[in-house]
Amino acid sequence: MLKQSRTRGFARQVGTIAVTLVGLLILTFVIGRMMPADPVRAIVGEEATQDTYMQVYQELGLDRPLPVQFVMYLRDVVTGDFGTSIRTGQPVIHDIAAVMPATLELATLAILIGATLGITMGVIAAVKKDQWPDQLIRVISLAGHSMPIFWTGMIALLIFYAWLGWVGGGGRIDDYFIGLVPEVTHFILIDAALAGEWEVFWSALNHMILPASLLGYSSSAYITRMTRSFMLDQINQEYVTTARVKGLSVRQTIWRHAFLNIRVQLVTIVALAYGALLEGAVLIETVFSWPGFGQYLTSNLMIGDMNAVMTCVLLVGVIFIALNLLSDVLYRVFDPRTR
């Protein structure tokens, strides 16, 4: 009976993922067709003749009915053909594979900063509810959530780079270090450490710390609010009162009991925050000239490169689906009752 129940649960999960992917493909296709940019004009240029325009228009299949175009799009996606980028002349999937490590590295450092800061502040705010630490943390969180990331990026560059010189400027690394480290993993910090090039490592970290801190601060606002809410719910439970009556200290009660009961919920919060960082790094990468996924999407959107734009949109959706699936797996690891 238990085995049948697990099989049905697995089948439902697979079915849900399949339906979500199909819906994502439909949404991506519709967005591609509704964009005001003309993909044909982006290819042939403004000076092309009408005959040339119509030839490319037919080659792209845009003269066919929309259901036929969707089937063609679905066939290409299934076979791994996402088209060629107009800007680079390379397959889009190759371009994304080249720029994605930079964004993953930045977002990973950012979520480590954001989760550490957000969870710590959220717990403190819950324990000190309505006291001055709680009020201060709520103001800090509100500021992180309210201030536009591109504005904080420019102000931070002005202060910490131009005035104080504490961090590196735009780009992923100093220009004179480019090409010194073999690209093994395409993550500059890991590659520099593997090669023993510690000057390159510290240069890369110096360039990364400011945009990662800004992204981490932005995500910590959401994590702080949710952690505070979860912790307040646990603090009001009877087992916390019982633990205090038995003589456990506040620290033991909070971290060894109450916090352990919210870690499952925090898994989803942190996973969604990480996905949002991958998606929302567009503005911060533009401000810091960071050669990642966000800047790639922005530059191709500006010139109407629909193959690249549609693939980027599809990838963001797939990332969120994968993170939700990972959250479900971690749920079962942290909470045996869900197994």
198-250 confidence digits (pLDDT tens): 888 998 899 899 999 999 998 888 899 899 988 888 888 777 777 777 777 77
Gap between the Cα atoms of 120 and 93, Å rounded: 39
Q: Are residues 241 and 149 part of one domain?
A: yes
Tell me the residue type at 137: I
In this structure, what token pair is assigned to residue 31? Answer: 């967005």
Are 297 and 304 in contact by the 8 Å Cβ rule? The answer is no
Domain ranges, residue 74: 2-78
Q: Which residues partner with 84 through β-bridges?
A: 91
Gap between the Cα atoms of 36 and 31, Å rounded: 10
Q: Are residues 180 and 283 part of one domain?
A: yes
Residue written as token pair 């960071």 = 290
Q: Are residues 128 and 46 part of one domain?
A: no
Instruction: Please tell me the total count of domains within the chain.
Output: 2
In this structure, what token pair is assigned to residue 331? Answer: 């749920």
Q: Any residues with CB less than 8 A from the CB of 284 and at least 6 apart, and which?
A: 149, 150, 153, 211, 214, 215, 290, 294
In this structure, what token pair is assigned to residue 265? Answer: 């919920």
Q: Say if 84 falls within a structural domain.
A: no
Q: Are residues 124 and 33 part of one domain?
A: no
pTM (2 decimals)? 0.81
DSSP designation for 84: B
Gap between the Cα atoms of 306 and 324, Å rounded: 27
Q: What φ, ψ does residue 91 adopt, rounded to 5°? A: -55, 135
pLDDT tens for 265-312 read 888 888 888 888 876 677 788 888 888 888 888 888 777 777 888 888
Q: Are residues 66 and 106 part of one domain?
A: no
Using 50, 70 and 90 to split pLDDT, how confident is the model at 1?
low
pLDDT tens for 44-91 read 666 767 777 787 777 777 777 778 878 888 888 888 888 778 777 788
What 3-state DSSP class applies to 91?
strand
Q: Which residues partner with 91 through β-bridges?
A: 84
Gap between the Cα atoms of 308 and 6, Å rounded: 39
